[in-house]
């Protein structure tokens, strides 16, 4: 099954579906006519049909039945009811890709059929601009072609790496939730810049270039974060003063605790926390 020749249905047309669909369309990987979404919210359906230009239905079964691959993108807490709705339909014989945090491929197989081909993916929202980071793992009945298809969807909106399913809770904590940690840091940096009297548009430009530049420097140099941090930190200088505050406030430990909390929450959403 080739990505360009396939019809994809997204069940749940929320933030993550919007990021992936807009990312796929912008990348020119899939024609709008091959994408259908379904959602309970008329406002979301209107956004997809009117602004994004793809079919948007209220009926999950109808959306899924006309597709070659069905991407489950509702909240983990309501995935069970959506699986009930889809069970006994032709969806059970299609490739099912789930992006729901925590929910195991086995749970989806049990909700549909043991031989339903399931691939679980953990994406993130920068997929919207083709800069997503995703990891994926195959269920018991998924073929290599199925895994390749899910990988192709995610690679067309960013980087995608295969992982054992047992790693996906940790991946969720790292890259699934990760953009929020960076936005949190940016919020704080920009709040501080404002209190120092810096003008908004310039602060935003400088802060974004700093975060992107630091990430790219680490990627291109291949150096560890600690080495690059040391190169910024002149003895007795400004960075040392700043990092001292971060250390005293226990920020590094808090980030570590935050990621463990996200991983734990992913396990709880799976029902085995």
Ligand X SMILES: O=C(O)[C@@H]1CCC=N1
Positions touching ligand NDP (CB under 6 A) are 11-17, 38-41, 44, 60, 73-76, 78, 82, 99-101, 122-125, 176
Residue with smaller CB distance to ligand NDP, 81 or 234: 81
Q: Look at residue 260 and give the partner it binds from ligand X, ligand NDP, none, a contact being a CB closer than 5 to 8 Å depending on partner kind.
A: none
In the bound state, the residue with its beta carbon closest to ligand NDP is 14
Residue with smaller CB distance to ligand X, 75 or 205: 75
Known binding residue 60? Answer is: yes
Give the residue, chosen from 176, 207, 263, 270, that forms a contact with ligand X under the rule CB under 6 A: 176
Residue with smaller CB distance to ligand X, 34 or 44: 44
Residue with smaller CB distance to ligand NDP, 7 or 233: 7
Interface with ligand X includes 175 (CB under 6 A)? no
Known binding residue 8? Answer is: no
The span from the CA of 262 to the CA of 239, in Å, is: 29
Known binding residue 73? Answer is: yes
The span from the CA of 38 to the CA of 212, in Å, is: 35
CB 170 to ligand NDP: min, Å: 14
Known binding residue 56? Answer is: no
- Tell me whether strands 35-38 and 8-11 are parallel, antiparallel or unpaired: parallel
Known binding residue 199? Answer is: no
Residue with smaller CB distance to ligand X, 30 or 122: 122
Closest CA to 92 of 74, 65, 73, 72: 65
Residue with smaller CB distance to ligand NDP, 103 or 138: 103
Known binding residue 103? Answer is: no
Interface with ligand X includes 105 (CB under 6 A)? no
- Residue numbers 153-172 binding ligand X by CB under 6 A: 172
CB 190 to ligand X: min, Å: 22
Known binding residue 215? Answer is: no
Task: Spell out the SS3 assignment of the chain.
Answer: CCHHHCCEEEECCCHHHHHHHHHHHHHCCCCHHHEEEECCCHHHHHHHHHHHCCEEECCHHHHHHCCCEEEECCCHHHHHHHHHHHCCCHHHHCEEEECCCCCCHHHHHHHCCCCCEEEEEECCHHHHHCCEEEEEEECCCCCHHHHHHHHHHHHCCEEEEECCHHHHHHHHHHHHCHHHHHHHHHHHHHHHHHHCCCCHHHHHHHHHHHHHHHHHHHHHHCCCHHHHHHHHCCCCCHHHHHHHHHHHCCHHHHHHHHHHHHHHHHHHHHCCC
Interface with ligand X includes 101 (CB under 6 A)? yes
- Cβ(65)–Cβ(8) under 8 Å? no
Known binding residue 176? Answer is: no
Give the residue, chosen from 98, 105, 107, 177, that forms a contact with ligand X under the rule CB under 6 A: 177
Q: List, as residue ranges, the binding site for NADP(+).
A: 11-16, 73-76
Binding site for ligand X (CB under 6 A): 101, 172, 176-177
Q: List, as residue ranges, the binding site for NADPH.
A: 60
């Amino acid at each position: 099954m080739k990505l360009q020749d396939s019809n994809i249905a997204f069940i749940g047309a929320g933030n993550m579906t919007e990021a992936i669909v807009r990312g796929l369309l912008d990348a020119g990987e899939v024609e709008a006519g091959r994408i259908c979404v379904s959602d309970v919210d008329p406002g979301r359906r209107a956004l997809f049909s009117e602004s994004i230009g793809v079919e948007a239905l209220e009926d999950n079964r109808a959306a899924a039945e006309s597709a070659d691959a069905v991407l489950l993108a509702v909240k983990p807490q309501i995935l069970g009811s959506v699986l009930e709705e889809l069970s006994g339909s032709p969806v059970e014989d299609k490739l099912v890709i789930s992006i729901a945090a925590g929910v195991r491929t086995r749970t989806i197989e049990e909700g549909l059929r043991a031989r339903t081909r399931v691939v679980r993916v953990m994406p993130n929202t920068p997929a919207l601009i083709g800069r997503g980071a995703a990891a994926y793992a195959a269920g018991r009945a998924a073929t290599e072609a199925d895994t390749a298809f899910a990988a192709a969807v995610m690679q067309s909106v960013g980087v995608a790496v295969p992982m054992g399913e047992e790693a996906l809770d940790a991946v969720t904590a790292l890259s699934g939730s990760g953009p929020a940690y960076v936005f949190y840091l940016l919020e704080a940096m920009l709040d501080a810049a404002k209190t120092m009297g810096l003008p908004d548009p310039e602060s935003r430009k400088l802060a974004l270039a700093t975060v992107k530049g630091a990430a790219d420097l680490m990627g291109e140099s291949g150096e560890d974060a600690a080495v690059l941090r040391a190169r910024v930190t002149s003895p007795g200088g400004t960075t040392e003063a700043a990092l001292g505050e971060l250390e005293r406030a226990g920020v590094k430990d808090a980030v570590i605790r935050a990621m463990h909390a996200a991983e734990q929450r992913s396990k709880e959403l799976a029902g085995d926390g």
